[in-house]
């Protein structure tokens, strides 16, 4: 059993603790929720447990399909053990249909099809509100090497395909999602989390939103939306 000690980091929704083994960290999923770069804050009761279950099951599925991740194992309802990584300060967003910030930027209607997946990079910086950047910015700022970015891009598209198929099994469309990658043992691994906090997930029949947009846009029934994804995963035998 891993013994946990000091708090290393506290974000808007997660706490990260040191483990006895310095190569590991424990991530605790809280019910705290934030959006719009922390300007909107709230609590979604039970969200931490739901996200921990969803995220750990997804990371196990990805590992089984050859994606190297930081995930080690789920410890209990709220906590998971992960490898300690050096986070690359670039958020990767993959989009399968138009939503969110893409709408205003490109004048698209919500749900409009995209002929191929779109990949976007954002510079992780609270002070600058995570501005969108391109590959030459990543290179020029020395955020990642060209080889690292090639690997990240290829892995992101593969994760997108795996996740689309995964959610399709439970009648859910993966509209878009965000990922982070980190350096670990001389390689690059998928880090952070994948959950209704970081994905747009729509019911494939009704288009109902089952993700954080319910919180962002005050659509109500936020707790139920997260529970619904977990319930469908349980029914589909996708929770480990």
CB nearer to ligand C5P: give 18 or 114. Answer: 114
CB nearer to ligand C5P: give 129 or 235. Answer: 129
Nearest residue to 199 via CA among 32, 58, 5:
58
Query: Which residue has the CB atom at the shortest distance from ligand C5P?
Result: 100
Under the rule (CB under 6 A), what is the footprint of ligand C5P? 93, 99-102, 130, 176-178, 198-200, 212
CB nearer to ligand C5P: give 19 or 85. Answer: 85
Q: How far is the CB of 35 from ligand C5P (least distance, A)?
A: 8
Q: How far is the CB of 192 from ligand C5P (least distance, A)?
A: 9
Quick one: DSSP state of residue 209?
A: B
CB nearer to ligand C5P: give 24 or 143. Answer: 143
With residues binned 3-state (H G I as helix, E B as strand, rest as coil), the percentages for the chain, rounded to 5, are 30, 35, 35
- Residues 195 and 182 sit within 8 Å (Cβ to Cβ): no
Q: How far is the CB of 195 from ligand C5P (least distance, A)?
A: 9
Tokens of 169: 């099994």
Nearest residue to 27 via CA among 18, 40, 37, 36:
18
């Amino acid at each position: 059993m891993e013994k946990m000690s000091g708090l290393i980091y506290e974000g808007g929704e997660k706490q990260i603790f040191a483990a006895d083994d310095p190569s590991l960290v424990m991530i605790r999923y809280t019910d705290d929720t934030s959006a719009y770069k922390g300007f909107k804050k709230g609590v979604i009761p039970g969200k931490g447990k739901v996200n921990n279950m969803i995220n750990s099951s997804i990371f196990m599925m990805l590992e089984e399909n050859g994606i190297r991740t930081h995930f080690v194992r789920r410890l209990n309802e709220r906590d998971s053990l992960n490898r300690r990584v050096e986070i690359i300060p670039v958020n990767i967003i993959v989009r399968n249909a138009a939503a969110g910030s893409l709408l205003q930027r490109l004048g698209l209607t919500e749900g409009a099809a995209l002929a191929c997946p779109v990949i976007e990079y954002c510079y992780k910086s609270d002070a600058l509100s995570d501005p969108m950047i391109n590959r030459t910015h990543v290179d020029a700022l020395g955020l990642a090497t060209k080889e690292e970015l090639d690997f990240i891009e290829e892995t992101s598209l593969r994760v997108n395909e795996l996740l689309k198929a995964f959610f399709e099994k439970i009648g859910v469309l993966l509209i878009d999602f965000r990922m982070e990658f980190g350096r670990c043992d001389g390689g690059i691994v998928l880090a952070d989390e994948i959950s209704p906090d970081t994905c747009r997930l729509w019911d494939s029949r009704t288009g109902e939103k089952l993700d954080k947009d319910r919180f962002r846009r005050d659509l109500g029934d936020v707790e139920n939306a997260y529970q619904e994804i977990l319930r469908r995963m349980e029914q589909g035998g996708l929770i480990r």
